[in-house]
Amino acid sequence: MLHILFNEPDIERLKEVQQLDATLEGPIQLIRDDYAVGPIQALDTLDGQEGRLNWWKSCFKKTAYGCIPASPLVDDPKVVAAIQEWLDVNPEAECWIWMAQNQHDVSGYYWLISQLKNWQGRIQILYFNNLPFINERGQLFYPTWLVEIPPREFLKAKKLARPVTASEFEIDPDEWSRLMTENAGVRILEGGKKLLGKDFNYFDLELKRLLTKEWQRALRVITLMQSKMKVKTGDVFIQYRLSQLIEEGTIEANGKWEKGWKELDIRLWSGDNSASAELDH
């Protein structure tokens, strides 16, 4: 069988599970892009894909990563082509989609599923929606990410695999079309597989709550934000939003952006014009 994941840390966890259960052996493919954030309008066209790539480039430019290489960070269409080829070459084999209860995995699923319709009946899904597991301390918990689940618990979870139904192959691509038309800045998981569109500034209030009128190191704020936020998103998007708030004047930065994130201090706007919030455009 072939496995599809949406979150890079899940790869090593699934490999651990495969060592415990030989029936789960098989190649692993990763859908890398985070379709829960950013523009997705007409993403089924080359123009839409190029627009999204350009948006990600603009985000990376104002982050601690500086910029991205000339080639794309991700090439999910290429990954899907490899999955389709594998399914054709292995006509008796199944493809298992692993999905946890978070907007990142569910958004990736919606982007993917219509592209596997020709192999209906061989596509299995394991969606850990509101399911309890036992953690390493023997306590009951409800994971939101696959990597949180101990390997031994995965052995029980594999029993949940079921075929993606004909109805889902019809309805779920329609839901993705609706989301593309809506083209919200952020998508959050409301329950089940229902995604709710929010504005780009969805995380801003939570970010500003971590700030005072005293200077703090920007990267420390980003780390603190990721540890505290209930609805998780990647550090690149948080840094992008922080840069937008600096441009808007809501947050001050101690100098030009070109000094780099390691030296960047930030605070809520204090009305002190001696502090520069200038960004390197």
Mean pLDDT, each 10-residue run in order, the chain (281 residues): 96 94 95 96 94 90 67 80 98 96 97 96 94 88 92 86 96 97 97 95 93 90 90 91 90 74 83 47 40
Q: Enter the DSSP assignment of 166.
A: H
Contact 237, 206 (CB under 8 A): no
Q: How many CB atoms lie within 10 A of CB 180?
A: 19
Pinpoint the alpha helices (H) of 62-137: 76-89, 103-113
| Cα–Cα distance for residue pair 240/242, rounded to 1 Å | 5
Contact 253, 218 (CB under 8 A): yes
| Distance from chain centroid for Cα 126 | 18
Q: What are phi and psi of 162, to 5 degrees?
A: -145, 155
Residue position matching structure tokens 């960070």: 73
**CA dihedral (86, 87, 91, 92) positive or negative:** positive
Q: What is the pLDDT of residue 71?
A: 47
The pairs formed by 234-238 with CB atoms below 8 angstroms and a separation of 24 or more are 234/34, 234/37, 235/63, 235/64, 236/56, 236/59, 236/60, 236/63, 236/65, 237/34, 237/37, 237/38, 237/59, 237/203, 238/203, 238/207
- Model confidence, pTM: 0.90
Q: What is the pLDDT of residue 254?
A: 85
Contact 71, 59 (CB under 8 A): no
Burial category of 104 from C-beta neighbours within 10 Å (exposed 0-12, middle 13-18, buried 19 and up):
buried
Question: Helix or strand or coil: residue 79?
Answer: helix
Q: What is the pLDDT of residue 73?
A: 64
Which residues have CB under 8 Å from 59's CB, separation 6+?
38, 236, 237, 239, 240
Residue position matching structure tokens 């999905």: 99
Q: What is the pLDDT of residue 206?
A: 92
Pick from 254, 204, 198: which is nearest to 225 by CA?
204
